[in-house]
Chains A and B, each alone.
Chain A
């Protein structure tokens, strides 16, 4: 069984500051891990995914995430926040059996001017 926990339902940063959104996973099989972004009144958009290749994954819009097996974490970072980054972010995990996907509760990112 797989699950993800997103630490912090709401994160607020200033424009230009570092963005760090935390995700810890639990999986009995090697996981596939994802970060999705949801803008208001829109569907989800894939930011990046980890599929057992490089542990540091670069995504769209300047985001990246690092897979750390020892810490069972897949935190999302961006060096410098932009106002347009304000959205809800979801971490998700799927297993090698490929028949289920579990999402975290989401983290709402607010960017202050």
Chain B
């Protein structure tokens, strides 16, 4: 158990809909990272927040947005969903602001299925 929690575990929704994925980092970690893992695209870094502020941006679509709240939990919002958005979405946390140099602890993921 990494200490990172993600809800829900599974999500099934229809095209065009909007969903919110939630992540709670490990106690004391200030950084939250979001990743997407799909068969087509593999594992992709989406976005990082550190202490409430956006820190780094990867291959995140404009239909997707994220935020980190004062209690440090984070939400990833996916809108106008398409079939291709079906994937496993991981959240990770770290105690440091950098993307690369420090260990990230991954949550178990949210499996999103768009029908």
Residues of B contacting A94 in the complex (Cβ-Cβ under 8 angstroms) = 99-100
B83 within 8 A of A: no
Q: How extensive is the interface on chain B, given as a class?
A: 20 to 34
Total A-B pairs in contact (CB under 8 Å)? 55
Q: Are B99 and A45 in contact (CB under 8 A)?
A: no
Which one of B62-70, B73-81, B102-110 is at the A interface? B102-110
Q: A43 is contacted by which of B57, B101, B103, B108 (Cβ under 8 Å)?
A: B108
Given A100-B58, A101-B99, answer yes or no on A43-B45 (Cβ-Cβ < 8 Å).
no
Q: Report A-chain residues with C-beta under 8 Å of the C-beta of B101.
A: 32, 49, 51, 98
A-chain residues with CB within 8 Å of residue B58 when the two chains form the complex: 100-101
Chain B hits for A41, CB < 8 A: 108
Q: How far is the CA of A102 from the CA of B98 in the complex (A)?
A: 15
A33 closest partner in B (C-beta): B100
Query: Are A43 and B42 closer than 8 Å at their CB atoms?
Result: no
Find the B residue at minimum CB distance from A99: B56
Q: A42-B108, A43-B107, A44-B90 are in contact. Are A103 and B43 (CB under 8 A)?
A: yes
Residues of A within 8 A of B4 (CB): 43
- A90 contact set on B, CB distance < 8 A: 43
- Whether B45 pairs with A100 at a CB distance below 8 angstroms is yes
- Residues in chain A within 8 A of chain B (CB atoms): 32, 34, 41-46, 49, 51, 90, 94-95, 98-106
* B interface residues (Cβ-Cβ under 8 A, vs A): 2, 4, 42-45, 55-58, 90, 92, 98-101, 103-104, 106-109
Give 25 CB contacts A-B under 8 Å.
Answer: A32-B100, A34-B100, A43-B2, A43-B107, A44-B43, A44-B106, A46-B104, A49-B101, A49-B103, A90-B43, A94-B99, A95-B100, A98-B98, A98-B99, A98-B100, A99-B55, A100-B45, A100-B99, A101-B45, A101-B99, A101-B100, A103-B44, A103-B45, A104-B42, A106-B43
